[in-house]
Amino acid sequence: MGDENYKIVDLFCGAGGFSFGFDHPEQLNGLGKLGYEELGWETEGFKTIYALDDYEAATETIEKNFDCAVENSKIQDIDTFSTWDDADVVLGGPPCQGFSQLNSTKTEDLDDERNHLWKEYFRAVEDINPEVFVVENVPRFLDSPAGKGLVELAEEHDYTTVVGKLDAADYGVPQHRKRAFVIGSKQGTPFLPTPTREPTKTVRQAIGDLPMYATDENLHNSRNFSELTKERMKKVPRGGNRHDIPRYLLPNCWKDYEDGGTDLFGRLRWNEPSVTIRTSFHKPMKGRHLHPEAGLERTITLREGARLQTFPDDFEFGTPYQVHTARLIGNAVPPKLAYHIAKAVKSHLQGEEGKLVKSQDFDHGEFLEAERQPVLE
């Protein structure tokens, strides 16, 4: 390989957080007060050559941040992906809403049409025939028929697969975000990254240097809230939630509903990682998204959400609309987590092997994890 970069195809690319961690990790250095430094590749990094998504705001975002071919289309409408058969790695996060924990349907009964797009993803893998593929999804994916089907199909095509559930907070991301990953390799036994030894990153480190009040500059902007909503937010103390709001300010549907939803109208905590940043993080009724400072009458801004996802401040989102930008941010793989996956993939491509062990998390014979074998001197 020499000093050439490994080539990437990114399917269901979204804002490109997955690719960004592979392609541009050096741009994360100096983000907020997170202490990121010396991230990047001295030799043999990665280069995204093609990205696909059917969401126009996503492909416009890719065009602003990557030098690669971009296609705004449904994956099932692409006849063949063999044009990109020089790619070494295929990344992808098939839409996960059907597997989301917010979907109350039993895992084995899921029949959302989006749950079948993994088959289109693997059709692309077949066409491209990369050395390695990586799939990201919500944890429930691995408990579903789709997760099992993907692993079995990959094994039939001579890929050695390993699976795991990672929390982004274990990899220097200032956010608890648990996601499932499947890595397949034709070069041997791949492995997922081990948690880093860096101290846990906090909300304060991520956004504490930003102005306390929204400035409407560089996405540091918040929604316009009603006076009633602002009164409710004002009553929530540090670390509090909807249960701290006086009864006379509560909507009727909450007044006699004590169970569930303890994160609703919740404040983030300064000295902890944030909760998972979702696509509706700019709405207080959707989770623990209030700014951590008591009395502040707003949710976190788009910029603060992007910081908690580890997007650098000069990353450009391809839409002027809050709802679309929030969707792009909330759906993304945090680039800092993606970087550590990239490091594991690179080490494997350069000859490092994993050691297969039976996964203890899944009652499925095909689901294996890999312990990273020590490198012999």
Q: Is residue 262 part of a domain?
A: no
- Strand ranges for 192-286 from DSSP E: none
Q: Is residue 258 part of a domain?
A: no
**Band of pLDDT at residue 264, cut at 50, 70 and 90:** confident
2-31 mean pLDDT: 95
Looking at the predicted structure, is the pLDDT value of residue 225 above 80?
Answer: yes
Q: Is residue 63 part of a domain?
A: yes
**Band of pLDDT at residue 332, cut at 50, 70 and 90:** very high
CB atoms within 10 A of CB 376: 4
Looking at the predicted structure, is the pLDDT value of residue 70 above 60?
Answer: yes
Residue 290 gets which letter from DSSP? B
What residues have CB less than 8 Å from 17, skipping those under 6 apart? Answer: 309, 311, 332, 333, 334, 335, 338
Query: 237 phi and psi, to 5 degrees?
Result: -80, 180
Catalytic residue among 13, 68, 96, 253: 96
End-to-end CA distance of the chain: 22
Looking at the predicted structure, is the pLDDT value of residue 113 above 60?
Answer: no
Q: Is residue 50 part of a domain?
A: yes
226-237 mean pLDDT: 95
Q: Is residue 186 part of a domain?
A: yes
Closest CA to 105 of 147, 150, 140, 130: 140
Closest CA to 144 of 102, 116, 168, 178: 116
Q: What is the pLDDT of residue 376?
A: 35
Least confident of 144-158, 292-306, 348-362: 348-362
Q: Are 329 and 165 in contact (CB under 8 A)?
A: no
CA quadruple 184, 355, 138, 321: dihedral, nearest 10:
-60
Q: Is residue 359 part of a domain?
A: yes
Per DSSP bridges, beta strands 89-92 and 6-11 are parallel
230-236-237 Cα angle (round to 5): 135
Least confident of 109-113, 148-152, 279-283: 109-113
Sign of CA dihedral 207, 245, 253, 251: negative
Least confident of 54-58, 290-294, 329-333, 358-362: 358-362
Q: Are 58 and 318 in contact (CB under 8 A)?
A: yes
Q: Is residue 307 part of a domain?
A: no
Q: What is the pTM of this model?
A: 0.92
Q: Which domain holds residue 94?
A: 6-198+333-372
Q: Are 220 and 302 in contact (CB under 8 A)?
A: yes
- The number of domains in the chain is 1
68 is catalytic: no
Q: What is the pLDDT of residue 222?
A: 87
- The one-letter code for the residue type at 250 is L
Query: Rounded to an integer, what distance in angstroms lies between the CA atom of residue 97 and that of residue 109?
Result: 14
Q: Are 364 and 148 in contact (CB under 8 A)?
A: yes
The CATH number for 22's domain is: 3.40.50.150
Looking at the predicted structure, is the pLDDT value of residue 109 above 50?
Answer: no
Provide, rounded to the nearest whole percent, the portion of the chain with pLDDT above 70: 88
What region does 185 belong to: left with phi over 0, alpha with psi -120 to 50, or beta? beta
What mean pLDDT, rounded, does the chain reach?
Answer: 90
Q: Provide DSSP, 159-181.
A: -EEEEEEEEGGGGT-SB--EEEE
Query: Rounded to an integer, what distance in angstroms lies between the CA atom of residue 20 and that of residue 332?
Result: 10
- Strand ranges for 126-273 from DSSP E: 132-137, 160-167, 178-185
Q: Is residue 1 part of a domain?
A: no
Closest CA to 151 of 375, 322, 368: 368
- Strand ranges for the chain from DSSP E: 6-11, 46-53, 69-72, 89-92, 132-137, 160-167, 178-185, 354-358, 368-372
Query: 285 phi and psi, to 5 degrees?
Result: -80, 0
